[in-house]
Structure 1
Amino acid sequence: MRKIVAWLIVVLWMLLIFYFSQQSVFESRDLSTMITKRLIEIVEKVTPIENMKLDQIHYLVRKNAHFNIYFLLGISALLALKISGIKGYCSVVIALIICMIYAVTDEFHQLFVLGRGAQVKDVLIDLVGATTGITIASLIGMIRKSRMAQSKQESLKVSVHKYDREQW
């Protein structure tokens, strides 16, 4: 059941990416402009933004969206693979391949959407996001595994020590 849920999350995330990619340039621009304006309002409550034009911030919001959405795709693909029994380096490589293929096909798909186009730069940003997500998830997994091994080792030492005392 966990396997099905994990892969369902990957597929649903891909569908969300597809949904955003199928929006015309006008819908996409309106959505990101709305998000940009909202972010500016939030940031300016904390600190004033100087020497930054709306277009510059809007560009950063759009490119960060690419990074973040593939960051999460990378993590979810890696976890789905691990839950499916594919471990170690192999799961990392396969997760990267899944993200790379999806990023390329997503940009290709945009060639057929009104006002949109394919950009190699976006594929690269997608891959950096996926790679970062996969790397962070892998590091967290290794740290967790190491801590669990340490904990097991410590509890084994306590058990052995307790056994030794009982023998005397």
Structure 2
Amino acid sequence: MKRSFLVLTLILMWIGLVFFFSSQPPDVSGRQSGNVYKFLKKVDNVLDFTQTRWYRNLRSLLEKWWFPDKKPTGEDLVRKSAHFGLYFIMGILSFTFSYTYLRKYVFSILMGVSLPTLIAVLDEYNQSFRGRGASLYDVIVDMNGAVIGTVLIFLFLLTLKLFKRRGLRRRIL
């Protein structure tokens, strides 16, 4: 019970963070993503990761996936990656809360995807009152983050359970 309360608290804090970001005026939001982009450019100047094959393949995949009708800038990719990352974590937290509370995988998977998607829709609706446009593409990116986060935490728990069972069987034999 303590664990599920802790995870619920984390989810509520994470939702608050999401709404904090979506409540920013367009100029503040643009400055935030611009600062992150500048920071990543500085990191790239040191590590030179944008010249690697895996980066070019990942960028190409994300451009096709997230921007089917335009060529995105680096800042566009940073903004969509932030959407993806926020909801990736929210998917993990939502699944974890549901699983620690009910111990049912199917319901936990549904919770891991549906709660973040609902928050994504409300988040975009909130942005429309802040002088920022609401975007179906953003909801889709958010939902993709939640789905991938949920699937990864589900696979992690299954793997953990498998290793525990194998370890238990070996001790018995």
TM-score (structure 2 length as normaliser): 0.84
Check the 8 A contact 2:84/2:144 in 1, yes or no. yes
Number of residue-to-residue matches in the alignment? 152
Alignment of 1:132-151 (within 5 A): 132-151=148-167
Report the equivalent of 2:17: 16
Taking the aligned partners of 1:126 and 1:148, their CA distance within structure 2 comes to 33
Taking the aligned partners of 1:119 and 1:48, their CA distance within structure 2 comes to 30
Cα deviation code 1:120-166 (max 9, x no counterpart): 00000000000000000000100000000101111111xxxxxxxxx
Listed as ranges, the gaps of 5+ residues in structure 2 are: 52-71
Listed as ranges, the gaps of 5+ residues in structure 1 are: 158-168
Amino acid at match of 1:91: S
Amino acid at match of 1:39: L
The alignment-based identity, stated in percent, is: 28
Cα deviation code 1:69-116 (max 9, x no counterpart): 000000011111111124111110122111111111110111101x30
Structural RMSD (CA): 1.4
Check the 8 A contact 2:98/2:107 in 1, yes or no. no
Bigger CA radius of gyration: 1
Report the equivalent of 2:74: 57
Report the equivalent of 1:92: 109
Inter-CA distance 150–15: structure 2 relative to 1 (3 Å threshold): same
Amino acid at match of 1:120: L
Cα deviation code 1:23-79 (max 9, x no counterpart): 0000000011001001001111122868xxxx7111110000000000000001111
Taking the aligned partners of 1:22 and 1:48, their CA distance within structure 2 comes to 33
Inter-CA distance 16–152: structure 2 relative to 1 (3 Å threshold): same
Q: Work out whether 1:118 is the aligned partner of 2:134.
A: yes
Q: Work out whether 1:108 is the aligned partner of 2:125.
A: yes
Report deviation, 1:9: 0.3
